[in-house]
Amino acid sequence: MLSIKNLHASVGGKEILKGINLEIKAGEVHAIMGPNGSGKSTLSQVLAGNDAFEVTSGEVTLNGDNLLEKETEERAREGVFLAFQYPVEIPGVSNLQFMRTSVNAMRHHRGEPEMNAAEFMKLAREVSKQVDLDPAFLKRGVNEGFSGGEKKRNEIMQALLLQPKLAILDETDSGLDIDALKVVSDGVNALRAKDRAILMVTHYQRLLDHIVPDYVHVLADGKIVKSGGRELALELEARGYAWLGIKDEATAASSAN
Partner 1 sequence: MKPAPTLLSTAFLHPAGQALPGPLLALRKQRGAALVDMPLPTRKTENWKYSSKYLKLTDEMATSLPTDGKTGSALAVPGYKVVFINGVMVPEASEYPDLNNILIQRFGDLSDAEASELAERLDTTLDTKAVQFAGLNSARFEDGLVIRLKPDAVLDQPLFIIHEVTADASGSAFPRIFVDAGRNSQITLVEEYISSGQEAVFVNSVTEFTLAEGANVTNIRLSMGGENVQHIGATGVTQQRSSRFQSHCVGFGGPLRRHDLQVRLEGEGAECKLNGVVVTQGTQHYDNHTTIEHIAAHCDSEETYRNIAADKSHAVFNGRIHIHQDAQKSNANMNNKNLLLSTGAEIDTKPELEIYADDVKCAHGATIGQLDEESLFYLVSRGISRREANVLLTMAFINELVAQIPVDAVKDTVQTRLNQFFDQAFQEA
Binding stretches for partner 1 (CB under 8 A): 48-50, 52, 71-73, 75-77, 82, 84, 87-88, 90-93, 97-98, 101-102, 105-106, 109, 141-142, 158, 162
CB of 40 to Mg ion, least distance (A): 5
CA distance 80 to 223: 22
Using CB under 6 A as the binding rule, whether residue 95 contacts ligand ADP is answered as no
Contact string (CB under 6 A) for ligand ADP, positions 48-87, x = contact: ----x-----------------------------------
CB-based contact 35:247 (threshold 8 Å): yes
Query: Using N-to-C axis directions, what is the helix angle for 178-191 and 148-162, rounded to 10°?
Result: 10
Give min distance, CB of 77 to partner 1, in A.
5
Which strands sit side by side in the sheet containing 14-24, from one edge to the other?
14-24, 2-11, 54-62, 65-66
Q: Taking contact as CB under 6 A, which single stretch among the options 40-48, 120-128, 160-168, 187-195 is the one that binds ligand ADP? A: 40-48
Burial degree of 35 (CB within 10 A; 0-12, 13-18, 19+) = buried
CB nearer partner 1, residue 104 or residue 251: 104
Cβ at position 203, least distance to Mg ion in Å: 8
Q: Smallest Cα–Cα separation from 73: which of 96, 33, 97, 101?
A: 101
Paired sense of beta strands 65-66 and 14-24, if any: unpaired
* Sole binder of ligand ADP in the list 4, 24, 39, 49 (CB under 6 A): 39
